[in-house]
């Protein structure tokens, strides 16, 4: 693995000779005057180039992925939705401000027990069908590690797959994604949900997570998944201590070096409780919004959140303050 390139993100500054867009962002640039030598053209392009559209969405502004868990046991919103009608109502509200709806039928919180595939399909597919039957056209991602669930969800109207195992859990998953020609999010996790928070360890968490994602991107493309349909995610909270999560968030911009859109899911997670002392996951909204704004300022393209309307409000203000850097003159 070559040395990690750490672009220094800058906002409030027009793009010009010395400030290039970070990963195609309209709001975030990076200083291309590298201390200690020039970057080669390929590395510069990977850090700056505009990412391919995802599910019809341009990725030059941060996009919100609203979480719709149809599970009895998710860590913060499990058991809240009353059947298909309840989930549809929540989807209708979320779709007013979310760019993508992420529907999950299996909790992957620390200590969660796996759900039989038939049960996961029975939880998610009727909700996806109901959303489509109601004429809600917002792109839907299916949050699953299982190929049969992904296939059933795509047949019912889902548009992309969000796999927290980065195609390692089910040997058939890569083929399902490749055949369907849909985007996929590859997320890093250390261990599986049941045991992942039992003393997670890394030598260099940022380098190891980047190495893992680079290898999974290679495996996905080798399985026939187009590179421009792959999204990467450092997997906040998946086999990580609060200190590991903070290191990954501080270094988030480095992930743009892989040349792919970055998704971040930190919403209401335990490390926010550890740092703030807020015990109840549903009360961690303000902390979650702070992390979302930090991720936006690091050029993350997709923010996976429970509290769509609060995050949208904060993001709208951040976007107004950050300005639109595209096509501006040099900042001199």
Question: Active-site positions?
Answer: 269, 304
Residue closer to ligand HH2, measured from CB, 19 or 305: 305
**Nearest residue (CB) to ligand HH2, 150 versus 263:** 263
Question: What token pair was written down for 95?
Answer: 């779709």
Q: How far is the CB of 292 from ligand HH2 (least distance, A)?
A: 12
**Residue whose CB is less far from ligand HH2, 71 or 124:** 71
User: What single string gives the DSSP state of each residue in 230-256?
Assistant: EEEE--TTSS--HHHHHHHHHTGGGGG
- Least distance CB 236 / ligand HH2 (angstroms): 5
Minimum CB–partner distance for residue 45 and ligand HH2 (Å): 25
Contact positions vs ligand HH2 (CB under 6 A):
67, 69, 71, 74-76, 104, 107-109, 143, 162, 164, 185, 187, 233, 235-236, 263, 265, 304
Residue of this chain nearest to ligand HH2 (CB atom): 265
Cβ closest to ligand HH2, residue 11 vs residue 108: 108
Q: For the CB of residue 93, give the shortest distance to ligand HH2 in the complex, in Å.
A: 17
Residue 176, φ and ψ in degrees, nearest 5: -60, -45
Q: What DSSP string runs through 90-136?
A: HHHHHTTT-SEEEEESS--STTPPP--HHHHHHHHHHHHHHHHHTT-
CB distance 214 to 258 below 8 Å: yes
Task: Specify the residue, 253 or 295, whose C-beta has the smaller distance to ligand HH2.
Answer: 295
The Cα–Cα gap between 309 and 296 comes to 16
Answer yes or no: are the C-beta atoms of 292 and 309 closer than 8 Å: no
Structure-token pair, residue 58: 């341009």
Give the per-residue SS3 of 124-161.
HHHHHHHHHHCCCCCCEEEECCCHHHHHHHHHHCCCEE
The least distance separating ligand HH2 from the CB of residue 49, rounded to whole angstroms, comes to 22
Terminal CA-to-CA distance of the chain, rounded, Å? Answer: 36
| C-alpha 245, offset from chain centre | 14
């Amino acid at each position: 693995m070559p040395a990690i390139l750490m672009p220094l993100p800058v906002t409030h500054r027009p793009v010009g000779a010395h400030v290039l867009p970070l990963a195609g962002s309209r709001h975030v640039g990076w200083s291309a005057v590298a201390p200690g030598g020039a970057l080669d053209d390929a590395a510069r392009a990977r850090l700056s180039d505009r990412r391919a559209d995802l599910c019809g969405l341009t990725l030059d502004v941060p996009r919100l992925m609203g979480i719709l868990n149809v599970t009895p046991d998710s860590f913060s919103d499990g058991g809240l939705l009353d059947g298909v009608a309840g989930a549809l109502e929540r989807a209708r509200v979320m779709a007013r401000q979310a760019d993508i709806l992420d529907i999950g039928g299996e909790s992957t919180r620390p200590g969660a027990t796996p759900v039989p595939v038939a049960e996961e399909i029975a939880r998610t597919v009727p909700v996806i069908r109901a959303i489509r039957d109601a004429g809600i056209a917002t792109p839907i991602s299916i949050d699953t590690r299982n190929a049969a669930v992904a296939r059933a969800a795509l047949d019912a109207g889902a548009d992309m797959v969000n796999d927290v195992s980065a195609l390692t859990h089910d040997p058939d998953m890569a083929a399902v994604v490749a055949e369907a020609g849909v985007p996929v999010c590859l997320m890093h996790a250390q261990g599986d949900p049941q045991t992942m928070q039992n003393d997670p360890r890394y030598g260099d968490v940022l380098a190891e997570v980047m190495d893992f994602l680079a290898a999974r991107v290679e495996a996905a493309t080798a399985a026939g998944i187009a590179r421009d349909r792959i999204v990467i995610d450092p997997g906040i909270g998946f086999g990580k201590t609060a200190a590991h999560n903070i290191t990954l968030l501080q270094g988030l911009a480095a992930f743009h070096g892989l040349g792919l859109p970055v998704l971040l899911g930190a919403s209401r997670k335990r490390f926010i409780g550890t740092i703030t002392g807020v015990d109840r996951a549903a009360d961690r909204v303000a902390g979650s919004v702070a992390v979302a704004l930090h991720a936006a300022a690091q050029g993350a393209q997709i923010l996976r959140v429970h509290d769509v309307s609060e995050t949208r409000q904060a993001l709208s203000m951040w976007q107004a303050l950050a300005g639109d850097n595209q096509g501006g003159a040099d900042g001199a």
